[in-house]
Amino acid sequence: MSAPAVAWHGSLGVVCPRCRGDLAARADAFDCGRCRVHYPVVLGIADFRLEADPWIGLEDDREKARRLEQRSRGASLEAMVRTYWSMTPGTPAEQASRFVHHVMNAGARSREWVERLDPPNGRPSGAWLDVGTGTGDLACAVAEHGVRAVGIDVAMRWLVVARRRAEIEGAHVDFICCNAEHLPFADRTFARVVSVGTLEHCRDAEQALAEAKRVLVPRGDVKLRTVNRFTMLAEPHVGVWGVGFVPRRLADRYVRWRGGQGYAHHRPLSSRELRRGMRRAGFTAVHVEPASLLAPERARLGTAQWAGRAYERVRRLPLMSAMLRASAPLLEAHGVAA
């Protein structure tokens, strides 16, 4: 018999994301006997996706991950991300370079965010789950604090980049490919769920929140940061103003009309929707507030640093905070699993 695909999966209690039953681990796959489903391990990363991400099919994504890995052997993180965009036709050069910049700044931003999270005083200790890990910056920042970190993402092609970041930084992080709406973990696996910039891309944000709640231990908590549907600024992914005020079914057409590249795969929530979704998922002590600015966001303000300082002051005033919550560019949410 061959060795199990990835030995640690067993110790975390991975289960079939469809029926939540036990899986049989083989050298190159996990099998669910009950569902008769076979979850492949690609480039050493287990693929538990039930649905493809909206941009690319499952097999095309795996193939892109393989090509990227092959073309970036021994490359730096930046070179690897540049290679990624060179393999992605249809992205204007200027936009690709902004994406590269974003990935390279993400480490500092995530470290600052993790530093600011309240210490786990009195909270359960244990592994943290990063939902929508992307290029792994947040999961690596968590691991730096000596916490066991697991990063999941729907894109295998980004997980090979995330793993490269972890290797370069010497961070021990486990990466798994899966849907936020269908986590391959047993109930009560994690002490904390963190997520930055992911909820707005979920097919079903409420289902993703319900899954986050399910995998948390009692008194474990979720901390997340997401785009506000009703942001007072241009929508950050497409650079178009006022998208949130257009009915959702028309948003894609509106963004294309305003010169953007479409909006079918973005569904940011308003602060009210986010709070309601967290409560429906079963979280208690739910707080939704205007997000604090992090270093790269402050840097983007350029000469308008005063605006950033004013925002931070207003954010701390209870009454103003309530007003700002409606229109702040980014929201932070917190909830406790009962």
Interface residue list for Zn ion (CB under 5 A): 16, 18-19, 21, 32, 34-35
Short-list 266, 306, 277, 274, CA closest to 290? 274
Measured CA to CA in angstroms, residue 238 lies from 88, 219, 234, 243, 298 at distances of 17, 37, 8, 9, 20
Nearer to Zn ion, 139 or 177 (CB): 177
Residue 186 CB, nearest approach to Zn ion (Å):
13
At residue 114, φ and ψ (nearest 5 deg) are -65, -40
Alpha-carbon distance 111 to 144, whole Å?
9
Nearer to Zn ion, 37 or 336 (CB): 37
Short-list 256, 288, 57, 25, CA closest to 157? 57
Q: Where are the beta strands (DSSP E) in the chain?
A: 24-25, 29-32, 37-42, 45-46, 128-131, 149-153, 173-177, 190-196, 216-227, 283-290, 330-337
Neighbouring-strand partners of residue 40: 29
Alpha-carbon distance 271 to 228, whole Å?
7
Nearer to Zn ion, 16 or 293 (CB): 16
Nearer to Zn ion, 72 or 189 (CB): 189
Residue 274 CB, nearest approach to Zn ion (Å):
31
Nearer to Zn ion, 10 or 262 (CB): 10
Residue 28 CB, nearest approach to Zn ion (Å):
18
Nearer to Zn ion, 35 or 117 (CB): 35
DSSP percent split of the chain into helix, strand, coil, nearest 5? 40, 20, 40
Residue 20 CB, nearest approach to Zn ion (Å):
7
CB 178 within 8 A of CB 49: yes
Alpha-carbon distance 294 to 291, whole Å?
9
Q: CA-based Rg of the chain, rounded to a whole angstrom? A: 20
Residue 244 CB, nearest approach to Zn ion (Å):
38
Residue 193 CB, nearest approach to Zn ion (Å):
23
Nearer to Zn ion, 19 or 168 (CB): 19
SS3 89: coil
> Residue 122 corresponds to which amino acid?
G
Residue 36 CB, nearest approach to Zn ion (Å):
8
CB 8 within 8 A of CB 174: yes
At residue 47, φ and ψ (nearest 5 deg) are -115, 100
Residue 214 CB, nearest approach to Zn ion (Å):
16
Residue 18 CB, nearest approach to Zn ion (Å):
4
Nearer to Zn ion, 32 or 210 (CB): 32
Nearer to Zn ion, 18 or 214 (CB): 18
For the CA atoms of 191, 126, 140, 64, what is the dihedral angle to 10 degrees?
-70
